[in-house]
């Protein structure tokens, strides 16, 4: 009987020590808290493997809103007796609004007699070309459908160099494909922008990717894929230089096309460079004959440092203010000329064709 009592005491004492050790471990290792782990399991825990890095969630969010676009152009041969031939172009597009508005590249649907949009769920829809903008190579299509998947968008999103991006499209008609890279350089989002001021990235873009979505790791739209860098010297093996229209600019273009059927830009009519003087802004280098600038009295050498109540930092900002002004509106240019500060009202015109 005595031996049994001693054995029980030993067991209880050992159990008490184990519980005390488990409590100490819970205090020292917070990761154990809130988990359904018995004191005895603590000693049997193995190191947990970290979850692999994946962009699958981003693709699941954005992928359904990226469509395949097939445009058909019926070309009639001028030679008598030849049958008309059908030329099909391949591209991608992004559903921007649940009312059926889709953004793509203009070169994908240029001169098309028939445009077919294929959703990722397999549904085929005929699309109408609402309008286009040659400067940014963007076009807006519209399809008649409901319950369309819309790509996630953020009005405050600004791409930065080094951001991880994913390009989604239909390269070479292989089906929806995702390529990954980073933003290599950023441009601007104003309407005066040119092709070389778009987002530059190294996510691969091939034939069929044009007009597809460039997204971030949250699945939000960063830009509309455009094309890869090309130059006259075909002997140069250039890799990893691809362009996309920034989301903010693409969204502006889309809204203007939906409203007006085209993009209406304000025009000043000057050649200019950034100011290197104490006044920030831009220096007018040349004035186009019969332009709004010449009619208002702006001259070569003028330093424009403010337009209306907007202080200028550089020439890009100044030209954006002009481009986004309504033709016919009057902007007050604050100018430094021969050590004098002048206010010159300028009536903005529309960019001539």
Alpha-carbon distance 82 to 75, whole Å?
Answer: 11
Burial class of residue 130 in the structure, from the number of CB atoms within 10 Å of its CB (0-12 exposed, 13-18 middle, 19+ buried): middle
Is the pLDDT confidence value at 213 over 90?
A: yes
Q: Where are the alpha helices (DSSP H) in 171-234?
A: none
Are the CB atoms for 299 and 284 separated by under 8 Å? Answer: yes
Catalytic residue among 133, 137, 163, 302: 137
Q: Where are the alpha helices (DSSP H) in 84-211?
A: 106-109
Is the pLDDT confidence value at 14 over 70?
A: no
Q: What percent of the chain has pLDDT over 70?
A: 79
Is the pLDDT confidence value at 196 over 60?
A: no
| Four-residue CA torsion sign, 166, 169, 173, 174 | positive
Q: Strand pairing partners for 274? A: 282
Q: Which two tokens stand for residue 306?
A: 């403010």
| pLDDT of amino acid 148 | 95
Residue of higher predicted confidence among 183 and 43? 183
Angle at 124 between CA 68 and CA 96, to 5 degrees: 55
pTM of the model: 0.77
The rounded mean pLDDT for the chain is 85
Residue among 276, 225, 263, 272 nearest 247 (CA): 225
Alpha-carbon distance 310 to 44, whole Å?
Answer: 67
Which whole number is the average pLDDT over 268-286? 90
**Which residue has tokens 């995702």?**
178
| pLDDT of amino acid 125 | 95
Q: Strand pairing partners for 104? A: 139
Which whole number is the average pLDDT over 190-208? 75
Of the listed ranges 37-51, 144-158, 181-195, 333-347, the one predicted with least confidence: 37-51
- Assess whether 338 carries a catalytic annotation: no
- pLDDT tens per residue across span 44-67: 555 677 888 899 999 999 999 999
- Assess whether 137 carries a catalytic annotation: yes
| pLDDT of amino acid 321 | 92
Are the CB atoms for 293 and 268 separated by under 8 Å? Answer: yes
| Four-residue CA torsion sign, 336, 338, 341, 346 | negative
Which whole number is the average pLDDT over 224-249? 77
Is the pLDDT confidence value at 264 over 50?
A: yes
- pLDDT tens per residue across span 98-153: 999 999 999 999 989 999 999 999 999 999 999 999 888 999 999 999 889 999 99
Catalytic residue among 92, 107, 189, 251: 107
Q: Which two tokens stand for residue 338?
A: 């021969």
| pLDDT of amino acid 278 | 81
Provide CB contacts within 8 A for 31, sequence distance 6+.
Answer: none
Alpha-carbon distance 235 to 168, whole Å?
Answer: 29
Is the pLDDT confidence value at 88 over 90?
A: no
Is the pLDDT confidence value at 211 over 50?
A: yes
Catalytic residue among 184, 189, 192, 210: 210
pLDDT range class, residue 195, cuts 50, 70, 90: very low
CB count in 10 Å sphere of residue 301: 12
Q: Which two tokens stand for residue 203?
A: 């996510």
- Assess whether 38 carries a catalytic annotation: no
Which whole number is the average pLDDT over 308-327? 91
């Amino acid at each position: 009987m005595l031996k049994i009592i001693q054995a029980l005491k030993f067991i209880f004492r050992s159990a008490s020590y184990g519980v005390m050790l488990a409590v100490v471990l819970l205090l020292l290792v917070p990761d154990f808290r809130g988990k359904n782990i018995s004191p005895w399991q603590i000693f049997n825990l193995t190191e947990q493997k970290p979850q692999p890095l994946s962009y699958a969630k981003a693709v699941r969010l954005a992928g359904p809103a990226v469509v395949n676009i097939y445009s058909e152009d019926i070309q009639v041969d001028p030679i008598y007796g030849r049958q008309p031939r059908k030329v099909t172009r391949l591209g991608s597009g992004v559903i921007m609004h649940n009312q059926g508005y889709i953004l793509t590249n203009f070169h994908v649907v240029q001169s098309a007699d028939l445009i077919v949009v294929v959703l990722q769920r397999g549904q085929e829809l005929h699309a109408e070309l609402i309008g286009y903008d040659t400067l940014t190579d963007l076009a807006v299509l519209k399809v008649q459908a409901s319950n369309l998947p819309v790509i996630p968008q953020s009005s405050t999103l600004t791409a930065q160099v080094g951001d991880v991006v994913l390009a989604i499209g239909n390269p070479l008609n292989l089906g929806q494909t995702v390529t990954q890279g980073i933003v290599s350089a950023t441009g601007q989002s104003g309407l005066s922008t040119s092709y070389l001021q778009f987002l530059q990235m190294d996510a691969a873009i091939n034939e069929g990717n044009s007009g597809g979505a460039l997204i971030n790791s949250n699945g939000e739209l960063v830009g509309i894929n455009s094309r890869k860098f090309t130059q006259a010297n075909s002997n140069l093996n250039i890799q990893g230089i691809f362009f996309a229209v920034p989301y903010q600019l693409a969204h502006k273009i889309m809204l203007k096309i939906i409203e007006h059927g085209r993009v209406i830009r304000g025009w000043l009519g000057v050649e200019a460079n950034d100011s290197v003087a104490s006044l920030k802004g831009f220096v007018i280098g040349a004035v186009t004959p019969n332009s709004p600038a010449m009619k208002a009295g702006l001259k070569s050498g003028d330093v424009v440092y403010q337009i209306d109540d907007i202080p200028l930092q550089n020439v890009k900002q100044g030209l954006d203010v002009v481009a986004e002004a309504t033709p016919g509106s009057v902007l007050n240019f604050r100018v430094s000329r021969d050590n004098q500060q002048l206010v010159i009202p300028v009536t903005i015109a529309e960019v001539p064709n």
